[in-house]
Amino acid sequence: MMLLACKFNSRRLKGMRNAFLALSIDLSSIVRDVKEFHLRSSRIAELPVFTLEDPAWLSAQVQEAGGARLVRNYSIMLLKRQERDVKELSGEDKDYRETLSAVATLGASIDTFKVGRVALWVALISLAVSMVALLLADVGRNTVLHHLPGLITQSAVSPTW
Query: What is the Cα–Cα distance from 105 to 93, expressed in whole angstroms?
Result: 18
Residue 2 lies in a domain: no
Residue 54 lies in a domain: yes
For residue 3, the model assigns a pLDDT of 45
Distance of CA 24 to the CA centre of its chain: 11
For residue 2, the model assigns a pLDDT of 45
Residue 146 lies in a domain: yes
Q: Which domain holds residue 74?
A: 27-156
Question: pTM for this one?
Answer: 0.47
Range list of H helices, the chain: 10-23, 27-39, 41-46, 56-64, 74-137, 144-157
Residue 15 lies in a domain: no
Residue 127 lies in a domain: yes
- Average pLDDT of adjacent 10-residue blocks, the chain of 161 residues: 54 70 67 76 65 81 79 81 85 80 78 88 94 73 73 72 56
158 burial class (0-12, 13-18, 19+ CB within 10 angstroms)? exposed
Domain count, the chain: 1
Residue 44 lies in a domain: yes
Residue 1 lies in a domain: no
Residue 14 lies in a domain: no
For residue 5, the model assigns a pLDDT of 52
